[in-house]
Amino acid sequence: MNALQQIWTVMRKEIKVAAEFRGQWLNVFLTPLAFIAVMGVTFGDGGAPTAAVYLVNEDEGRLGRQIVSALRNEPTLDLEILPSRSEADRLVGEGRRMAAIVIPSGLSEAVLTEQGGAIEVIVDPARAQSAGVVLGQVQAATAPMLIDAEVERGVRTAFNTAPETFGFEAADLEALGVDLETVERFLTAAIRGVVSSQVQDAIDDPLVRIELKPASDAAPRQAPTIFDYLTPGYSVFFAFFLMGLMAEIIYEERVGGALRRIFTLPVGKASFLLGKMLPYALIAMLQIVVVFGVSSLLFNFDLGDAPLAFTLLVVATGLAVGGLSILVAVLIRSEGQANSIPSLLAVVMAAVSGALFPSIQLPALAQLTPHYWAIQGFLSITALGGGLTDVALHLCVLLAVAVTTFAVAVWRFQPT
């Protein structure tokens, strides 16, 4: 109980002392928004968003297999194959992934009938809007095959009902020594050839391509934008600038003798450091919320539909920022170090992690930074419509970072 009161006392003191450093607050809260705005305007929709969906193939025929492989080759879709429609239905209902694509049984045959067939997309009703993205992507991926099937069905239907549509009389054909079936096959192949090459052209030609576009004012939001990357990236990047402030204050407490006095009092190292760290963790959390909020208002990006997962991710990220920062602050031994190492580290970590720009990162090292896990976590929620299970790993990694860095800080901390 006494330790809790001491932690609270240290927290209040720390906030009062830190509040004096006004420039730092500007840096932490406003600079990320400025960067996001500039980068967003400069690079526009340069990101590579993907949608996480389930795929169920109940069709035994050739078309089903073709569609599956086409969808697999679609870079904007992150597929998980499920064995049954009922399971997909349940998982989407739980909000695990934003949609499930179901290829119903008998589709291969059905497309050749007059009624035709349909690919079904099961969407989470809470995220019906974002599911539009999936529909577009499915259409884009399956267009060639569907047109193919369409041609085949059209030719067959025409011949079966009225060969004269094509201007032939059965008798004429017989006179020429060819049977109806041969003509049908020939025509199907010919038409398919023409149409298919046009479809291929259409796919290569962006004019006709079904494209994913960021939301305009009129249209509902269609796809993740670069802001989905930049907002968490710059938020975390600049939250780490708190590290310099923490280092500076600890340095002043050390040379000014405050640490000496505090540790001639019955105060534990862990309580003291926790009291010092928590305010910055809370400030980092507040900053993330503010930056996301402003960013979503100004740049119109979707915060996702998983408030619990989002909140937990904010908390875990704040704690990771606090833990790593207190560790660095505790290890710093001179004013020169306090002025240089934290900002250097903040920039290097951001650059390595991909926080500066989605395509800039060192793949092997990125995963060593808390930035990476925070960004990927937020991305799964805001851009991909993920929920708690999608960010469980991210939460665990961030909390592990927070706990281990804090433990090492307590271990290495020398008050004198």
DSSP string, 65-92: HHHHHHHHT-TTEEEEE-S-HHHHHHHH
274: which residues sit within 8 A by CB, 6+ positions away? 7, 10, 406
Which residues of this protein are in contact with other proteins, per CB under 8 A? 2, 5-6, 9-10, 13, 16-17, 20, 255-258, 260-267, 415-416
Min dist. Cβ of residue 416 to other proteins (A): 6
Distance CA(273)–CA(412), nearest Å, equals 11
Min dist. Cβ of residue 273 to other proteins (A): 14
Min dist. Cβ of residue 12 to other proteins (A): 8
Distance CA(24)–CA(248), nearest Å, equals 11
Distance CA(146)–CA(67), nearest Å, equals 9
Min dist. Cβ of residue 413 to other proteins (A): 13
By beta-carbon proximity to other proteins, the closer residue of 9 and 296 is 9
According to DSSP, the residues that pair with 53 across neighbouring strands are 79, 99
The DSSP output letter for 221 is P
Min dist. Cβ of residue 333 to other proteins (A): 15
Min dist. Cβ of residue 411 to other proteins (A): 16
Cβ atoms of 274 and 284 closer than 8 Å: no
Min dist. Cβ of residue 266 to other proteins (A): 4
By beta-carbon proximity to other proteins, the closer residue of 154 and 268 is 268
Which residue reads 């802001």 in tokens? 227
Mapping DSSP to helix (H, G, I), strand (E, B) and coil, where does residue 357 land?
Answer: strand
Min dist. Cβ of residue 30 to other proteins (A): 23
By beta-carbon proximity to other proteins, the closer residue of 115 and 264 is 264
By beta-carbon proximity to other proteins, the closer residue of 185 and 261 is 261
Give the Å distances, CA to CA, from 11 to 238, 245, 415: 21, 15, 18
By beta-carbon proximity to other proteins, the closer residue of 2 and 113 is 2
State the sign of the Cα–Cα–Cα–Cα dihedral 220, 225, 231, 236: positive
DSSP string, 97-129: SSEEEEE-TTHHHHTTSSS----EEEE-GGGHH
Min dist. Cβ of residue 250 to other proteins (A): 12
DSSP string, 142-160: HHHHHHHHHHHHHHHHHHH
> Beta 99-103 vs 120-123: how paired, if at all?
antiparallel
By beta-carbon proximity to other proteins, the closer residue of 9 and 337 is 9
Min dist. Cβ of residue 282 to other proteins (A): 19
Give burial (CB, 10 Å; 0-12/13-18/19+) of 284. buried
Distance CA(124)–CA(384), nearest Å, equals 13
